[in-house]
Amino acid sequence: MSAYEDIRSAAIQIIERRKLDVRAERELTRVAVTEAVGTYQRQADHGGNKTLLDPAEMIERVFHAVADFGSLTDVLTDPGVEEIFIEGDRVSSIDGDGRLHALSRPTTEEENRRVVDRLLADTDRHLDVANPIVQARVLRDSARLTAVMPPIADRLSVTIRRYALRRETLTSLVELGSMTPPAAGFLWAVTQANSSIIVSGPPGSGKTSMLAALIAAIPPGDCLRSCEEVRELHVPIVHGSYYEARPPSLDGSGAIPLRDLVKIILATFSFSYYILRRVSTGRRRGLGCHLLSYQPRWGWPRSGRYPPGGAVSEACR
């Protein structure tokens, strides 16, 4: 094992022996890590280990590994980072200006996998051989994690995307220059007329912001039902509910697919509008006219048809 793995393992043993809560007892956790580094250095002085060039840096690295998110702690807690990419042992991020940055701290694929497992620990979802693809809301519901592991991918592949929790409205989108006043007026009129709307586009094109603005334009007396595979919409509504699909448990039971949620809301007839969103790969028609998957999209009741891969003309037939 490397010096880092040796020290991390020793620190965990000290923490477990003292029964420390790494989240609540951070200072005592740091003391334990410092002791582990000191023991390693003393062994190195006697020829048992390689001497650390920077013991203080190793203390910080191991401390963040056991108490936080390892080398990814800074990038995961930085509000200016909008998206994080993990490909094996490589980590990069995109800031609010769209610039790509490489992670400056050293890391390994094994470390990154532990970070993903820690992020998923607060959810009901798991990444393992039986579930090599997972999506979940993480970081206190402030981000969406999508992870794929071998054998589906050749290495660990993860994307963590922060939600833009701004309370968008049609007016705010006009002020931002995202749409013209006539377009905003037209969309407002459509929401009042109980007509069908389809929002489609590539990742990062602003679909969620557009959905939030359209929801804000819905008359408060109308009931809204939202179905999502992984919930992203957090717009306050006066009348209605948000629904989220659930993956199967470790024994394969307990799954609640998006199709079942659609059946539930269609059976109640107690809504004026519904939203249907799905993130998927491939062009699968398993849900007929209710859902044709590829990119997230949504619609109002009446037609309930969704375009495969953004093919709006096909949905309008």
Summarize pLDDT for 134-148 with one digit per residue, the tens.
Answer: 988 899 888 889 999
Of 122, 143, 162, which residue constitutes the final position of a domain?
A: 162
Same-domain check for residues 213 and 99: no
Specify the number of domains making up the chain: 3
Q: Are residues 41 and 110 in the same domain?
A: no
Q: Could you tell me if 182 and 287 lie in one domain?
A: yes
Of 65, 161, 57, 62, the closest CA to residue 113 belongs to 65
Which of 35-44, 136-145, 268-277, 303-312 tops mean pLDDT? 35-44
Whole-number pLDDT of residue 35: 95
313 vs 220: which has the higher pLDDT? 220
**Does the pLDDT of residue 281 top 50, yes or no?**
no
At 154-190, the pLDDT tens digits run: 999 999 988 765 678 999 999 989 899 999 999 999 8
Judged against a pLDDT cut of 50, whether residue 297 lies above it is answered with no
**Within this chain, do residues 189 and 264 fall inside the same structural domain, yes or no?**
yes
Where do we find the tokens 């589906």? Answer: 152
Same domain, 214 and 297: yes
From 162, 184, 213, the end of a domain falls on 162
Q: Is the pLDDT of residue 298 over 90?
A: no
Q: Are residues 35 and 122 in the same domain?
A: no
237 and 104 housed in the same domain:
no
Nearest residue to 197 via CA among 181, 177, 209, 211: 211
Question: How many angstroms separate the CA atoms of 242 and 233, rounded?
Answer: 8
Residue 98 belongs to domain with CATH number: 3.30.450.90
Q: pLDDT category, 85, cuts 50, 70, 90?
A: very high
Reference 310, options 160, 298, 98; nearest CA is 298
pLDDT at 273: 54
Taking the C-alpha atoms of residue 160 and residue 139, their distance in angstroms, rounded to an integer, is 10
Please report, for the domain that includes residue 275, its CATH number. Answer: 3.40.50.300
pLDDT for the residue numbered 166: 63
Note whether 153 and 177 are same-domain residues. Answer: no
227 and 295, same structural domain?
yes
Check pLDDT > 60 for residue 278.
no
Domain around 13: 3-67
pLDDT confidence of residue 311: 47
Higher-confidence residue of 238 and 287: namely: 238
53-57, 200-204, 210-214, 266-270: least confident range: 266-270
The CA-CA-CA angle for residues 27, 32, 38, to 5°, reads 125
Q: Which of 40, 67, 94 is the last residue of a domain?
A: 67
For the residues 291-314, what does the mean pLDDT come to?
Answer: 37
* 157 and 180, same domain (yes or no): no
**Three-point CA angle 76, 152, 117, nearest 5°:** 35
* β-bridge pairing 100-102 and 157-162: unpaired
Predicted TM-score (pTM) of this structure: 0.66
Quote the tokens at residue 111: 């470390």
Most confident of 19-33, 208-222, 225-239, 258-272: 19-33
User: How do residues 231-270 score in pLDDT, each as one tens digit?
Assistant: 777 788 888 888 888 877 767 778 888 888 888 877 765 5
Q: How confident is the model at residue 62 (pLDDT cuts 50, 70, 90)?
A: very high
Using a 10 angstrom Cβ sphere, with 0-12 exposed, 13-18 middle and 19 or more buried, the burial of residue 121 is exposed
> pLDDT: is 168 or 313 the higher one?
168
Same domain, 114 and 149: yes
Same domain, 78 and 63: no
What is d(CA 258, CA 248) in angstroms, rounded to the nearest whole number?
12
> Is 227:261 a contact under the CB 8 Å cutoff?
yes
